Amino acid sequence: MNDLNTLSNMELLAVVVGPREALRLYRGALSPLFAHGTEKGHSTQRLHAVRELIRRWLIEEMRERDTMESPAKVRDFLTLHFAGQPHESFVVIFLDAQNRLINAEELFRGTLTQTSVYPREVVKRSLQVNAAAVIFAHNHPSGVAEPSRADELLTSNLKQALGLIDVRVLDHIIVAGAASVSLAERGVV
């Protein structure tokens, strides 16, 4: 067997799930990774390993390319990040001037139904990492991705606060299981 360090991401994924499944996942059919439990005989541990591998893969691609060229990759990354989380959390994806990933960080963690987000802390962290733009995301453990009025108000407040320091807000994505809603696509951002 080849040394795993020399394998490409695609080849490594094929080792874990088999060549046919790896090709399907690589082409964007990530839905099996969001299912709970086992699927097609794969152990839960193996699925978690595949999720982590693909999460890392997506991070690499977002660091190398303009994230806005492939919003689907951002959504896939966020869906993997929030998969199975029993509580709400708020993530900020910090981007450079070419919209490439600087870092993705969970800044706030809440309860089953809510999380408190402090604009001051988002502004502070944006300055620390020298972000030119951000994408916000949070999850709805309830399974309903529909944004609330509070979600829209929060987005507006954060956009206003970050505007004072010339950091663009590109989107706010709400994730619920495998479903997601983009506030930018709805004209809120």
Report how far residue 11's alpha carbon sits from residue 146's, in angstroms, rounded to the nearest whole number: 37
160 phi and psi angles, rounded to 5 deg? -65, -45
Task: Give the C-alpha separation, 178 to 97, whole Å.
Answer: 29
pLDDT tens for each residue of 83-102? 888 999 999 999 999 999 99
Would the pLDDT of 22 be above 60?
yes
**What is 67-189's CATH number?**
3.40.140.10
**Average pLDDT of the residues of the chain:** 85
* CA separation for the pair 153, 61 (Å, rounded): 31
Q: How far apart are CA 84 and CA 80, in angstroms?
A: 9
- Are residues 154 and 107 in contact, defined by beta-carbon separation less than 8 angstroms? no
Record the pTM. Answer: 0.78
Q: Could you read off the pLDDT of 36-74 as tens digits, one per residue?
A: 444 455 566 777 777 788 888 888 889 999 988 888 889
